[in-house]
């Protein structure tokens, strides 16, 4: 079986790493399975791309389509045009896509139109929020997927409600958590750890890059000033996404607690998360990692496509207003973290299950 694996953006790299490891171990067992790795070039900063390949031992891509940035339509179209050529030159039995970025949707459409089967890892999750490009990418990808690999029973149920054939819906667990299991022991303190006297639980991690939080510069600055005032006795480490950095670049702002740092590599970032007091974020993936690491997470969004991070895990959806964050965070400071657990099958073995299903074993 020849599989073409698609990866375009930071969270994709983290998701494909354990799938490639699982394919390699099946190869070592003598199974007929090979892969070609296509990097679409959606993320191209070293900090968001190369570092992850190096740290997670992902092989160099067989090809980089180098689409880079653009509007939603420009980027999606550029990926489709480049990937169609690539797939016609290098046909395969199956195109495997992960997550919900433009590369996920664009390559699924191209594959299906070239009569190639599509496997979607992280299928079926839904926020119901069509203002987010990711939700549209999820819906379109799942409408033409042949193998749905889901992270939760609720994602599987979403697909069944939409009429997907139950035989094609496979609840396998979470590949992002496979990566966490495979690498957490290798995590290490970043260079600035000692310089800023960071210690276990004496700092908060902040990440923000979703349009609803960062696209309007004055609201973003107000939000940051609010977050800066949430605590007196803790640093707030803010690995700033290039998208957010570009929006803030012209502004001269100073904070008493917030410390801006560059986007972190996976190993430093996991070290920072696992030792943090709490995390404030608008990332979906981080709410899964904090759930498994047992770190309180406050998500600055109005909804989530990962409800189990809240019903079982450590995540609290606080909306995008600072006022609500202040209220919810204040109650956490007073009452401590609530009890949490780890969702079913988030056990580090999702990738093995995926590859076994693809091989029909």
Residues identified as active-site: 209
CB of 239 to ligand UDP, least distance (A): 4
Among 11, 124, 190, 307, the residue binding ligand UDP under the rule CB under 6 A is: 11
Kindly tell me which of 152 and 283 has the beta carbon lying closer to ligand UDP: 283
Q: With binding defined as CB under 6 A, does residue 263 bind ligand UDP?
A: yes
CA dist., res. 39 & res. 68, Å (int): 11
Per CB under 6 A, the list member of 18, 41, 173, 285 interacting with ligand UDP is: 285
Asked if 144 and 120 touch (Cβ cutoff 8 Å), the reply is no
Instruction: Give the nearer residue to ligand UDP in terms of CB position, either 92 or 125.
Output: 125
Judged by beta carbon, residue 209 or residue 234, the one nearer ligand UDP is 209
Q: Interface with ligand UDP by CB under 6 A: which range of 58-66, 78-86, 182-190, 263-271? A: 263-271
Residue 313 binding ligand UDP, by CB under 6 A: no
Site for ligand UDP contains 286 (CB under 6 A): yes
Site for ligand UDP contains 284 (CB under 6 A)? yes
Instruction: Spell out the alpha helix ranges (H) of the chain.
Output: 10-28, 50-55, 72-89, 102-113, 133-143, 153-161, 175-183, 192-195, 211-214, 217-228, 242-248, 266-274, 284-293, 308-311, 322-335, 350-359
**By C-beta, is 92 or 206 nearer to ligand UDP?**
206
Q: Does 283 bind ligand UDP (CB under 6 A)?
A: yes
Q: To the nearest whole angstrom, how small is the minimum distance from the Cβ of residue 11 to ligand UDP?
A: 4
Nearest 5°: CA angle at 65, between 59 and 71? 125
# residues near ligand UDP by CB under 6 A: 15
Scanning 10-18, 150-158, 247-255, 319-327 for contacts with ligand UDP by CB under 6 A, the matching segment is 10-18
φ/ψ of 274, rounded to 5, equals -65, -20
When asked if residue 44 is in the footprint of ligand UDP (CB under 6 A), the reply is no
For residues 178 to 217, the per-residue mask of contacts with ligand UDP, x marking binding by CB under 6 A and - elsewhere, is -----------------------------x----------
Binding map of ligand UDP across residues 215-254, x = CB under 6 A, - = no contact:
------------------------x---------------
3-class SS string, 268-287: HHHHHHHCCCEEEECCHHHH
Question: Which residue of 4, 7, 10, 325 would you call a contact of ligand UDP, by CB under 6 A?
Answer: 10
* Alpha-carbon span 122 to 360, nearest angstrom: 19
User: Sign of dihedral through CA atoms 100, 101, 105, 108?
Assistant: negative
The CA-based angle 175-133-45, given to 5 degrees, is 65
CA distance 351 to 192: 34
Cα 116 off chain centre by:
25
296 touches ligand UDP by CB under 6 A: no
The one segment of 110-118, 192-200, 284-292, 339-347 that binds ligand UDP by CB under 6 A: 284-292
Question: SS3 sequence, 47-79?
Answer: HHCHHHHHHCCCCCCCEECCCCCCCHHHHHHHH
Residue closer to ligand UDP (CB basis): 76 or 207: 207
37's CB contacts (< 8 A; 6+ apart) are: 4, 5, 7, 16, 20, 58, 59, 60, 61, 62
Which residues are at the interface with ligand UDP (CB under 6 A)? 10-11, 14, 176, 207, 239, 263-264, 266, 269, 283-286, 289
């Amino acid at each position: 079986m020849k599989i073409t694996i698609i990866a375009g953006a930071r969270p994709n790299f983290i998701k494909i790493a354990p799938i490639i490891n699982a394919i390699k171990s099946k190869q070592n067992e003598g199974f007929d399975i090979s892969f070609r790795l296509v990097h679409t070039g959606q993320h191209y900063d070293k900090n968001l791309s190369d570092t992850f390949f190096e740290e997670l031992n992902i092989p160099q891509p067989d090809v980089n389509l180098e689409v880079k940035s653009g509007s939603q339509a420009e980027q999606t179209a550029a990926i489709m045009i480049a990937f169609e050529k690539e797939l016609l030159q290098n046909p395969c039995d199956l195109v495997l896509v992960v997550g919900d970025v433009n590369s996920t949707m664009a390559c699924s459409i191209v594959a299906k139109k070239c009569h190639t089967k599509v496997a979607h890892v992280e299928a079926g999750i839904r926020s119901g929020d069509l203002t987010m490009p990711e939700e549209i990418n999820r819906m379109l990808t799942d409408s033409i997927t042949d193998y749905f690999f889901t992270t939760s029973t609720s994602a599987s149920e979403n697909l069944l409600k939409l009429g997907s054939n139950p035989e094609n819906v496979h609840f396998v667990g979470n590949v992002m958590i496979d990566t966490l299991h495979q690498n957490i022991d290798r995590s290490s303190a970043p260079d600035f750890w000692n310089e800023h006297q960071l210690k276990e639980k004496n700092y908060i991690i902040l990440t923000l890059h979703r349009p609803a939080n960062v696209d309007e510069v004055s609201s973003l600055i107000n939000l940051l000033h609010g977050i800066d005032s949430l605590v007196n006795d803790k640093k707030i480490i803010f690995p700033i996404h290039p998208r957010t950095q570009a929006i803030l670049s012209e502004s001269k702002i100073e904070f008493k607690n917030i410390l801006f740092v560059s986007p972190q590599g996976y190993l430093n970032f996991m070290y920072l998360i696992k030792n943090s007091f709490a995390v404030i974020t608008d990332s979906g993936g981080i709410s899964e990692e904090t759930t498994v690491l047992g770190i309180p997470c406050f998500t600055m969004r109005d909804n989530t496509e990962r409800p189990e991070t809240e019903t079982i895990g450590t995540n609290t959806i606080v909306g995008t207003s600072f006022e609500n964050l202040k209220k919810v965070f204040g109650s956490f400071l007073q009452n401590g973290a609530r009890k949490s657990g780890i969702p079913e099958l988030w056990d580090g073995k999702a990738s093995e299950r995926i590859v076994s299903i693809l091989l029909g074993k």
